[in-house]
């Protein structure tokens, strides 16, 4: 059970990140999930719901509701996937792209205040350690 301190610190770090990040996103009128979707779709061609789900941290059930709300607000558009009519392509509308261009850089600046306290070497070491940990779970 040597992994328990690592597990505890991983969870506490994620919780701390959310406590730092979420209020800033909320101050911009978005939920964390909405921001995740908008950030993923920003400056990208439309993608399928499956691709969007794979690229975000959003579960399929949650994604459906978030997409409905973003569509109702005019942030995203849906179109039939020409390669597979059983699925839809999701993209940002002009309004959605403008929102992305406003909130994404603002939030990156907010995160920079925290991540900027770490050296380039610290960030590289953390990235490598997290990639190694992720690979352990993927390879099971």
Q: What are the tens digits of pLDDT across the range 66-79?
A: 999 999 999 999 99
Give me the percent of the chain exceeding a pLDDT of 90. Answer: 85
Asked if 130 contacts 122 with a C-beta cutoff of 8 angstroms, the reply is no
Asked if 41 contacts 90 with a C-beta cutoff of 8 angstroms, the reply is yes
Report the CATH architecture of 4-138. Orthogonal Bundle (1.10)
Q: What is the mean pLDDT of the chain?
A: 94
pLDDT band for 139, please (50, 70, 90 cuts): confident
pLDDT band for 94, please (50, 70, 90 cuts): very high
Tokens of 72: 């109702």
Residue pointed to by tokens 């995203």: 76
Asked if 68 contacts 129 with a C-beta cutoff of 8 angstroms, the reply is no
pLDDT surpassing 90 at residue 83: no
Average confidence (pLDDT) over 26-34: 95
Residue pointed to by tokens 């691709």: 51
Average confidence (pLDDT) over 46-62: 89
- Lowest mean pLDDT of 23-27, 35-39, 46-50, 109-113, name the range: 46-50
Asked if 73 contacts 38 with a C-beta cutoff of 8 angstroms, the reply is no
């Amino acid at each position: 059970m040597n992994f328990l301190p690592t597990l505890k610190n991983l969870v506490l770090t994620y919780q701390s990140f959310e406590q730092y990040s979420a209020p800033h996103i909320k101050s911009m009128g978005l939920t964390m999930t909405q921001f995740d979707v908008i950030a993923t779709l920003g400056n990208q061609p439309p993608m399928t719901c499956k691709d969007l789900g794979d690229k975000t941290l959003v579960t399929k059930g949650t994604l459906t509701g978030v997409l409905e709300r973003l569509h109702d607000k005019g942030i995203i558009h849906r179109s039939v996937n020409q390669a597979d009519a059983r699925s839809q392509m999701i993209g940002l509308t002009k309004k959605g792209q403008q929102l992305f261009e406003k909130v994404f850089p603002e939030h990156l600046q907010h995160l920079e205040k925290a991540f900027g306290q770490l050296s380039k070497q610290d960030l590289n070491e953390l990235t490598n350690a997290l990639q190694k940990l992720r690979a352990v779970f993927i390879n099971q």
